[in-house]
Structures are given as structure tokens and as C-alpha cells.
């Protein structure tokens, strides 16, 4: 499958999921500061990786789209709820080319909308009973419970590092953090849940953990690279926003491990300054240092190694399945993840 | 039952619930910015109304404490998660005589801890299967789902009013808001769920809706009165914090409906000023106006009417139950709710 075909399929699965989200958001008051806002981030149009992976994994394992639809809706609602709270936590200014929810409304409203969205995301899981029976419904519930707790643990690590102004992290620390913060909910559990649904609970979902980890890590690193060097219009976040936010990316961790002692001191001071007091010129200097010490090249290379490992895992664990469009879709998406420019 | 006996029972149910919370919080990393903090608010010692009501309602309907224990844990965890996010949303400084979580740590950490606590609160509901069987477990899950969504709707109303600087609200608006924000999760659903568990699903839980509404409304109004006139050491929040926060209490709504046009203008200006720019002297003047226009007396009277209506509902819907300590406990707690001084 080529990339345009993959994108078109991703778009289709995303549109089906968005329709599902609309169906699960009640048509009632209060609209103005609650229910309308729940649809705001989903309507801006995300990439839809998580529902796409879940549905494709279901179909590649012999299931049908409609069997995975409620689970896909839950994944995408949880993802958007995470984004709303993450934007408040990181004090981010833009999301998908528009002001973040707390900037467009208020922090208080944004926190509450995220809370409601987390709550609403449970209901499609409940509805799974109609499609999957009690036993599989319960397994999927526990999968979702796990992905939520892993993400919050990963978020706690990342926030804690910033709070303590940690400047001596290793690549291993970073990979452990994104395994928790990103990989479980973005790749591992979408693929696991799709496979469980498609195989009617027969498959051992643990066989996908390495695939999802490599894939998710490649994805996150690529995402962080695009934040640094992508074009604003294509990417939808402020350029270099991660440097302004003091986010512990692989590039920053790599730079801190390679730079001179004076530069280390300068970066640590910068990161120790409250966000609003940070100087754009200093942020730019850090970006230049990342180029100078080839930290961005290093991250690109790491992302490509990880994607290679993901492909190997894919061939190991998907090769016994009969060829299908959805199997090819997952293969293409793995390669795309490290080459995408938005 | 007299008040000291009731308090001692409430304390016992609260201690059992706190032990349950500790058992559900995993002993793992990251402790520093996550799992340790999840225990922070519960360990400060809340009043434990919600688990107390749920357990007592279960026992008064013929059940045993251990049957309601997981549900009580969920209620108390959700309550504490609400408090953490509510404190961020209201920019509150103190909670239970200590700095609020976002003040002691950071906003970002507090939001994430609340999210994790919301997630963890689902697991005891899952464990209900061991105690209650599948069918009742599923009913309790839907009860909890409902109380979470009602609370978020109520919170959206209250935050929206502040955001829009609403100064023409009625008592009816206020009661509708606290029905959603407070009554469902504090009274209606703890009593409903206890009765469902105690009666093994036989009772019609809707018969407790009016009781829980009157009780919860009396409780919330009394809570807001104590915020204005209570003593800091007894109450554990900053005095008059609600006025500083611009919270639409019954007293404020009543004052705005009675005061002169010039005073209305002054209050509206004050409430339209960002919180950090509000003058303590102005807050004090608003408190004086509340005394002058007898808005606090009016609120006290309303709270007492509501508690009376709650007692009448209690006699209607609990009189057919055989007398028990827990039945008497609920009766005493209703009367205590409007007379408590902390």
C-alpha cells in the first residue's frame, strides 16, 4: 500500500470515529462551556492514528470495522481529553493551528471539559457488550484502564523532571518515560485491543508489546523533531514550543550529555527560569546548539532504528495472518511514521 | 442517635474507606509526583459524608458494610479527585488546613494527580463483581457514570457564570446548579447505591432522589455559609475565600437581587476584576453587605427549610425499614448537616 492510499484509509477510519464521538456527546445543556467544547478538539481534525491502528488491527485479525468502533471512539476521546489537560499542564499556546482550549476559554473550563471527556469516554466501552459479549467487553475495559494509568505515570515522570529541573537524564530514562506516556495509549494498546476484538479474544495480546513500543517511540521522537524544525502551518503547534516549555525531548537530553560545561550551565539556567521569563533568543541558541551537536540528527537516527525494529516485529507477528488491505495499512503506517512531515 | 455517636460512626466508616483507598493505590514508581500525592488529600482527613451515607444506606437496607466497601472507596476517591481539580479551577489556596495541591506542588502536577485518581477510582467498581455479581456491579457502574457527568455539568454551569460575570442569577438557577454539582455525588447517589447494594437490587433507587437533593442542597448552602463566617482553624479553608474567588453562592445571588443599583454596579465591577487584582477591602465590604441585606440569614433559613424537607423525605422512604443504628445515623446526619460548625 502506498502512502496516499494509507492516508485515505486513515482518513476514513478517522471520519467514522469522529461520527461515533458526535453520537456519544449528549445533545443537552450546558452546551456553551461544556458539550460544545468537547467536540472542539476532535472537530479540528487529528491524525487519527489510534483509532486507525485499532480498527486496522481488528480487521487484519479477521474482525469487522463495526466491532472495533466503540473502542476506537474511546481511544480518540481519551486522546483528546489528554491533549486538553496536557496543553494546560504545558501552558501550550496552539493546538492543531488554533489557540489551545485554555487560551480560547479559561484554564478552569479546559480542566472541566477534559474531565467530562474522560468520563464520557467510558460509555462506548460499556456499549461494547452489544458487540463483543461480556467477557471480551471486560478485557477491553481492563486494557483501557491500563493505558490510562500508564499515560498518567508517564506524564508524572515528565512533569516531575521539569519541576526538579532534571538535567542529567539518559536516553534510557527518556525511552522509559515515552513507553509510559505515549507508546501504551498510542500504539501498544490500540493494536492489542484491535487484535483481541478481531480474533474474538483468542490471540495473546502481549505479542504486540514490542511492536507497539518501537512504533510509539519512533512516532514520539519524530513528533518532537517536527516540533523543532517543522513548519508552523503544516504542524499546527508553535515552532520550538517544546524548548520554550522546557520539555525533556531526546534532543535536549542528548544535547545536555554532549555540550560543554558552560553550555550545560546556560541550558540549566534557562530551564530553571519560569516559562514566562524565558528568552526567545536563548531558546533559539539552544536550538542552534542542538544542530551544532547533531542532537537532532541523533534523534532522527534513533527514530529510524526504532521504526526498523518495529517493522521487524511487524513481520514476526503479522506474517502468519493472511494478506489484507489492513495488514498492508499497518506496514505502511509504520514506515510513514518516521517519514511524515506533519 | 446523638451527634457524638453519629460522628463516631462517620469516623469509623471514613477510616474503613481510607484503608480501602490505601489498598487501591499501587506501591510503585513514580511515587514522588504521583502515587504519594494521591494519598495526600485523603490522608488530610475529610468528613467522609459520601462513603458514610453509602455504607449506612446499604446497612439500613439489610446489607453488610463489606458489600458497600468498594463503592465507598470509589466515592471518596472521586470526591478527592474533584477537590484537587476544583482547587486548581478556583485557584484556592488552602484545603483542610494545608496548602492546596497545586500550591504545594504545581498546577500541572495537581491536574495529573487528579486524572490518575479519577482513573484509579474505577478499579474498585470493577472489583464489585466479587461482592455483588455481574448485574448489580453493572448497575453501580452506571450510577457512578451518572454522578460524574452530573458533577461536571454542574461545574461547567458554575464556571460559566463566573466567566461571563453573571450577576442576574435566581435562586432557581442556583438550586439547579448545586443539584448537579453537589447533590448527585454527595447525597443522592451514595444513598441510591447503598440501597441498591443493601437490597440486592430490589429497591427503586429513584425514591431517594428528593431526599438526596434536599439534603445535598442544605449541605452545600451550609458549607458556603461556613466559608463566610466559620473560623479558619475549624474549617480548613481561607475565610471568605468564596468571595475572593467570585463563587456564585446563594448569599451572593441573594445580595445581588436585593442591593441598590450602585451596590450592584460595585459588586459587578469587583467580580469582573481578575482574581489576583481583587481588593480584600472590597471583599470585606461585600461580606458586610451580605450581613446588611440579611443574605446570610436568608441562606441559613433556606438551608433549614431544605433540611426539614429532607427529614420529611427520610421519614417517608425509610419508615418501612426496621429500626437500626444505620437508619438512626442517617436521620442524625441530616439534622447535623445544618447545625455543624465545621
- Predicted pLDDT at A191: 98
Residue A81 lies in a domain: yes
Residue A48 lies in a domain: yes
Please state the domain count of chain B: 1
| Chain B neighbors of A112, CB-CB under 8 A | 85, 89, 152, 155-156, 159
Q: Which domain holds residue A83?
A: 3-337
Residue A77 lies in a domain: yes
Question: Of chain B residues 68-97, which have a CB less than 8 A from chain A?
Answer: 85, 88-90
- Predicted pLDDT at A233: 42
- Predicted pLDDT at B236: 47
pLDDT class for B340, splitting at 50, 70, 90? low
Given a cut of 70, is residue B93 above it in pLDDT? yes
Predicted ipTM of the assembly: 0.94
Residue A236 lies in a domain: yes
Q: Which residue of A has its CA nearest to B139?
A: A126
Instruction: Dump pLDDT digits (tens) for B263-303.
Output: 999 999 999 998 888 888 999 999 999 999 999 999 999 99
Given a cut of 90, is residue B227 above it in pLDDT? no
Question: Of chain A residues 135-194, which have a CB less than 8 A from chain B?
Answer: 141-142, 145, 148-149, 152-153, 155-157, 159-160, 162-163
| Chain A neighbors of B160, CB-CB under 8 A | 30, 32-34, 109
- Predicted pLDDT at A252: 97
* Residue A193 to chain B, least CA–CA distance (Å): 19
Residue A72 lies in a domain: yes
Specify the CATH number for the domain of residue A234.
1.10.600.10
Residue A318 lies in a domain: yes
* Residue A121 to chain B, least CA–CA distance (Å): 10
Dihedral sign from CA coordinates of A154, A156, A159, A163: negative
- Predicted pLDDT at B233: 42
| Chain B neighbors of A139, CB-CB under 8 A | none
What integer is the mean pLDDT of B226-242? 64
- Predicted pLDDT at B238: 54
Residue A342 lies in a domain: no
- Predicted pLDDT at B336: 84
Given a cut of 50, is residue B339 above it in pLDDT? yes
Angle between helices A107-120 and B65-90 in degrees, nearest 10: 150
- Predicted pLDDT at B341: 60
| Chain A neighbors of B154, CB-CB under 8 A | none
Distances (CA, A) of B79 to A36, B26, B42, B84, B114: 25, 19, 9, 9, 10
Instruction: Dump pLDDT digits (tens) for A25-63.
Output: 999 999 999 999 999 999 998 889 999 999 999 999 999
Distances (CA, A) of A193 to A130, A235, A323, B147: 16, 29, 20, 28
3-class DSSP state for residue A99?
strand
Residue given cell 482518513 in the structure block = A11
Distances (CA, A) of A319 to A12, A60, A199, A201: 25, 11, 15, 19
Average pLDDT, chain B: 93
* Residue B208 to chain A, least CA–CA distance (Å): 24
Instruction: Dump pLDDT digits (tens) for B10-68.
Output: 999 999 999 999 999 999 999 999 999 999 999 999 889 999 999 999 999 999 999 99
Which of A120, A145, A157 minimises the CB distance to B122? A145
Residue A215 lies in a domain: yes
Given a cut of 80, is residue B338 above it in pLDDT? no
Q: Which residue of A has its CA nearest to B102?
A: A89
Instruction: Dump pLDDT digits (tens) for A303-312.
Output: 999 999 999 9
| B112, B149, B180: best to mutate for the A interface, most A CBs within 10 A | B112
Lowest mean pLDDT among A78-82, B198-202, B276-280: B276-280
Q: How many CB pairs under 8 A join A and B?
A: 126
Amino acid at each position: 500500500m502506498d502512502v496516499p492510499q494509507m492516508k485515505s484509509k486513515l482518513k476514513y477510519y478517522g471520519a467514522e470515529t469522529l461520527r461515533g464521538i458526535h453520537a456519544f456527546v449528549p445533545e443537552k445543556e450546558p452546551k456553551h462551556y461544556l458539550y460544545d467544547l468537547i467536540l472542539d478538539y476532535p472537530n479540528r481534525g487529528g491524525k487519527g492514528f489510534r483509532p486507525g491502528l485499532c480498527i486496522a488491527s481488528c480487521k487484519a485479525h479477521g474482525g469487522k470495522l463495526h466491532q472495533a468502533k466503540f473502542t476506537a471512539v474511546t481511544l480518540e476521546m481519551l486522546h483528546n481529553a489528554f491533549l486538553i489537560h496536557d496543553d494546560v499542564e504545558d501552558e501550550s499556546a496552539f493546538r492543531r493551528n488554533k489557540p489551545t482550549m485554555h487560551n480560547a476559554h479559561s484554564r478552569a473550563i479546559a480542566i472541566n471539559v477534559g474531565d467530562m471527556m474522560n468520563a464520557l469516554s467510558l460509555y462506548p466501552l460499556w456499549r461494547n457488550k452489544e458487540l463483543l459479549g461480556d467477557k471480551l467487553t471486560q478485557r477491553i475495559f481492563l486494557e483501557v484502564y491500563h493505558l490510562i494509568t500508564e499515560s498518567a505515570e508517564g506524564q508524572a515522570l515528565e512533569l516531575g523532571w521539569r519541576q526538579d529541573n532534571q538535567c542529567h537524564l539518559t536516553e534510557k530514562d527518556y525511552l522509559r518515560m515515552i513507553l509510559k506516556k505515549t507508546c501504551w495509549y498510542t500504539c501498544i494498546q490500540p493494536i492489542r485491543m484491535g487484535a483481541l476484538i478481531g480474533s474474538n479474544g483468542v490471540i495473546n495480546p502481549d505479542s504486540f508489546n514490542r511492536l507497539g513500543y518501537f512504533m510509539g517511540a519512533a512516532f514520539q521522537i519524530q513528533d518532537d523533531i517536527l516540533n523543532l524544525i517543522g513548519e508552523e502551518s503544516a504542524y499546527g503547534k508553535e515552532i520550538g514550543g517544546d524548548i520554550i516549555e522546557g520539555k525533556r525531548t531526546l534532543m535536549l537530553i542528548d544535547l545536555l550529555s554532549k555540550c560543554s560545561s558552560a553550555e550545560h550551565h546556560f541550558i540549566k539556567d534557562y530551564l530553571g527560569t519560569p516559562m514566562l521569563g524565558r528568552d526567545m533568543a536563548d531558546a533559539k541558541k539552544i536550538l542552534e546548539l542542538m544542530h551544532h551537536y547533531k542532537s537532532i540528527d541523533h534523534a532522527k537516527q534513533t527514530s529510524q532504528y526504532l521504526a526498523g525494529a518495529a517493522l521487524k516485529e511487524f513481520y514476526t507477528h503479522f506474517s502468519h495472518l493472511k494478506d489484507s488491505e489492513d495488514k498492508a495499512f499497518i506496514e505502511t503506517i509504520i514506515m510513514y511514521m518516521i517519514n511524515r512531515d506533519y
